[in-house]
Amino acid sequence: MESYEVLLASITGDTGETRTILDPATGTVVGEAPVHTVENLDRAVAAAADAQPGWAALGHEGRSAVLLKAADAVERSAEDLARLLSREQGKPLNGLNARFEVGACVAWLRSTAATVLKPETVVDDGETYAELHYKPIGVVGAIGPWNWPMMITVWQIAPALRMGNAVVVKPSEYTPLSVLALAKVLNQELPEGLLTVVSGGREVGERLAAHPAVGKIMFTGSTATGKAIIKSSADTVKRLTLELGGNDAGIVLPDADPKAIAEGLFWGAFINTGQTCAALKRLYVHEDIYDAVCEELATIAAAAPMGNGLDETSVLGPLQNKQQFDIVNRLVESAKESGARVLLGGNPPKDQPGFFYPTTLVADIDDDNPLVVEEQFGPALPIIRYSTVDEAVAMANGLEVGLGASVWSSDLKAAREVAARIQAGTVWINKHGAVDPRVPFGGAKQSGYGLEFGVEGLKSLGVPQVING
């Protein structure tokens, strides 16, 4: 028995209904996930409401000390967590994948514990004295996706706990084991009832979003589900942070050095085999250097090994599920039918187990092709040629979503000017998707609202209160 299987056994010993979770690389059984019900959810919310006042009473320093211990616990179990994550989600151990994700959980817990949010004196002019404080909300619900299940759960729960709230987590049906295992480790340090994972289906998510005893929902997932959550949370006027789908554009300016930027472009697009909210999903390249960029990208892409997650040489893995495989396949087929030029990949093997879709680059594609306008969320990058920067900016801004974007250039000033014209929550320069626990992150347009990380992230997990006088 591998040591991660001991951790797995400790979370699947539940009696009651279970769901078999299969490894997306091999189709073999990873484990049995409990199927929790809305009654389980109601009990978890009640336990959270009981645990929350005692936790809030610890104050910022007391809570930060516990979060730091929880980070140490995750670090001690890092390899077991990474191996389980790799088997359930499919992502390789190495590269920007499973070990990286568990490391990010530790980093975010520690950074969140260290972030200070002090009461702010807003006015002090001799006549008026007003201070702005942030108080705990109470019980927070966290609903997450399957692409970065552990890291995104920490993004949601670390600031919630830090601000004195209790949390009930509803993980994706595709990756419940990763989140249950993470919570099992965190709960070595947290008071009982403060953090519970309810591993159920959509009905559990709907109930959490509508629950009268829940004050806020942290949601990361698709724009369609985000809209459903806005509706179900309306009757209780819940606070919401919505990190929704994206279709990030990258603009390569004519002065960029194709060789120097190719690796950054590649990993900006193919991190986690493309299954990343803020990955580069459409690349606009100036006609003067279009062929050179395509060539450099194809060289790097062809050399990146894709395979089973537990194989130490893999840096790209399978799609997590059949539904996502079918989306990528459909979009690449539509690009091929339109006459676009496949530079690499595009032909998934038919006789192999697992949801492997080969690393795919598609050139000479129109901006209105489905592979460009829909979020592919997989290892297939369309590369669009442009003539003027105005045209590139218009195409980048042409969609309803605006999570991230990037500008690539040898001239930082020129790149910043173009960045300011793009409608996205974050615009990176000469990199894409680099998140940092100290830097606020959130979407524009239909990619959502509310900020995560840093001081702004803490504020969004508190109820503002002004003391005036």
**Given the complex with ligand NAD, which of 80 and 375 has the nearer CB atom?**
375
CA distance 344 to 299: 10
Neighbours of 52 (CB within 10 A): 22
**Given the complex with ligand NAD, which of 228 and 292 has the nearer CB atom?**
228
Which residue of the set 88, 101, 173, 243 is catalytic? 243
CA distance 265 to 298: 11
Residues at the site binding ligand NAD, with contacts judged by CB under 6 A: 143-147, 152, 170-173, 202, 205-206, 209, 220-222, 225, 228-229, 232, 243-246, 277, 375, 377, 403, 443, 448
* Locus of tokens 């919570």: 183
Least spacing, CB of residue 144 vs ligand NAD, in Å: 6
**Given the complex with ligand NAD, which of 135 and 231 has the nearer CB atom?**
231
Per the structure block, which two tokens stand in for 233? 């949370």
**Given the complex with ligand NAD, which of 24 and 145 has the nearer CB atom?**
145
Q: Which residue from 171, 149, 56 is spatially nearest to 101, judged by alpha carbons?
A: 149
CA distance 245 to 220: 8
**Given the complex with ligand NAD, which of 77 and 241 has the nearer CB atom?**
241
CA distance 215 to 139: 6
Active site residue 375: no
Least spacing, CB of residue 145 vs ligand NAD, in Å: 3
What stretches of 134-247 show up as alpha helix (H) in DSSP?
149-162, 176-186, 202-210, 223-232
**Given the complex with ligand NAD, which of 145 and 258 has the nearer CB atom?**
145
Instruction: Residue count of the chain, please give it.
Output: 469
421-429, long-range: CB < 8 A, 24+ apart:
421/393, 421/397, 422/249, 422/251, 422/393, 422/396, 422/397, 423/396, 423/397, 424/248, 424/249, 424/396, 426/278, 428/268, 428/404
Least spacing, CB of residue 181 vs ligand NAD, in Å: 16
Least spacing, CB of residue 107 vs ligand NAD, in Å: 17
* Locus of tokens 């450099």: 296
Buried b (16+ CB within 10 A) or exposed e, 101-115: bbebbbbbbbbbbeb
CA distance 447 to 468: 36
**Given the complex with ligand NAD, which of 198 and 418 has the nearer CB atom?**
198
Least spacing, CB of residue 246 vs ligand NAD, in Å: 5
| Contact between residue 347 and residue 310 where contact means Cβ atoms under 8 Å apart | no
Least spacing, CB of residue 266 vs ligand NAD, in Å: 19
Neighbours of 1 (CB within 10 A): 7
Least spacing, CB of residue 459 vs ligand NAD, in Å: 18
The residue number with the shortest CB distance to ligand NAD is 205
At residue 257's C-alpha, the angle toward residues 256 and 259, to 5°, is 145
Query: What is the separation, in whole angstroms, between the first and last Cα of the chain?
Result: 64
Q: Which residues carry out catalysis?
A: 243
